[in-house]
Amino acid sequence: MLEAAGLTAREETVYRLLVGTATASVQEIADQTGLPPDTVESTLVSLRGKGLATPTDRDPLHFAATPPDVALLPRIQRHADALDKARTAVGDLLDSYRSARRRQDAGQLIEVITGAEALREHLRRMQDNARHEMLWFCKAQYVAMPSGSNRAEYDALARGVRYRVLYEQAFFDDEGAIDNVAEGVRAGEIARSVPHLPLRLAIADRAIAICPLVPGGAHGNPGEPTAALLRDSSLLDALTALFERYWEDAVPLRVGAAGTVDGTDDHGAGALGETDRRLLSLLVAGVADKAIASQMKLSRRTIQRHIQHMMTLVGAETRMQLAWQAARRNWL
């Protein structure tokens, strides 16, 4: 039981006896353990060398155990530290092995997945293994997972995996799609919308991705889907960069009090009132807040509140980002 602390079975037997008695002689230990006296002597020498037993001051022929917290816990910690280092070294070796295999064998980089059932299983497994972040392109008309059927997402969100999901606007035409997206957002999904997406895509931890190899296979279209599972490579890096590019220009989706999802149509243009539009045109023209307040006969605090509302609406962190997003949405 104490092998992890570096003790043999015989050493553990003698040490346990010493722990349960104040002191014991070689003969007493031999009598209680059934070991020959010379075996007990050699075992005590070994225990002394490991700092687990010492002769008593009053009688050097009697031995006492070193307290377990002093003798064993530091040894176990050293073994644990060594195991952690070994585990890290094995991980590094595994990365090197995979990298070398991938350079020599393209099959280590790309795996072809055929059929809706196989695709569903790979997507589920990818989410189950995700530890940090999932990135998704969701196009209209499902291929393998009908809207609302991806329960693996909720399990991953519950254990702290971040989900960033991009929906193309046609996605919300499917029956029940808005309710399903609202459920995901309430569970912690970060969702945005764009007019159109170039492909379907799922990326886990920026280390593995699934995307279609050929068009077709969507709901209502004949033929089984054929997709590629991509592992760490330049192609995967390119797909991740493509996601980030679309994400930057997308409209944030929010769940309203009535359970509706705001931002799924017309890029939220109807959210701006006349005051916001006029203020925005002055802001983009470079007019200072004080001058805007004077022209519009509003307080500077009110001006800043309107600007903050528009920044929140488009997910902008700076006024420059607000101006860029406003131009994209034809708000000017």
Tens digits of residue pLDDT in 141-173: 777 777 677 889 999 999 999 999 999 888 888
First-to-last CA distance in the chain?
A: 75
User: Cα separation of 63 and 40, whole Å?
Assistant: 11
Per-residue tokens: 217:
């296979």
Q: Tell which CATH classification among 3.40.50.1820, 2.40.10.220, 3.40.30.10, 1.10.10.10 matches the domain 270-328.
A: 1.10.10.10
For residue 12, give the nearest of 47, 60, 37 by alpha carbon.
Answer: 47
Q: Which two tokens stand for residue 101?
A: 């295999």
- CB of 13 closer than 8 Å to CB of 20: no
Fold equal for 3-71 and 107-262: no
CATH number of 107-262: 3.30.870.10
Is the pTM here over 0.75, yes or no? no
Contacts of 170 (CB under 8 A, 6+ apart): 139, 140, 196
Pairing label, strands 190-194, 110-114: unpaired
Mean confidence (pLDDT) of the chain? 81
- Euclidean distance between CA atoms 109 and 228, whole angstroms: 10
Instruction: Reply yes or no on whether the pLDDT at 228 is more than 50.
Output: yes
Structural domain boundaries in the chain: 3-71, 73-104, 107-262, 270-328
Distance CA 83, CA 253 (A): 46
Q: What is the band of 104 on the pLDDT scale with cuts at 50, 70, 90?
A: low
> Domain spanning 3-71 has what CATH number?
1.10.10.10
Residue 192 CA to residue 314 CA, distance in Å, equals 10
What single string gives the DSSP state of each residue in 299-322?
-HHHHHHHHHHHHHHHT-SSHHHH
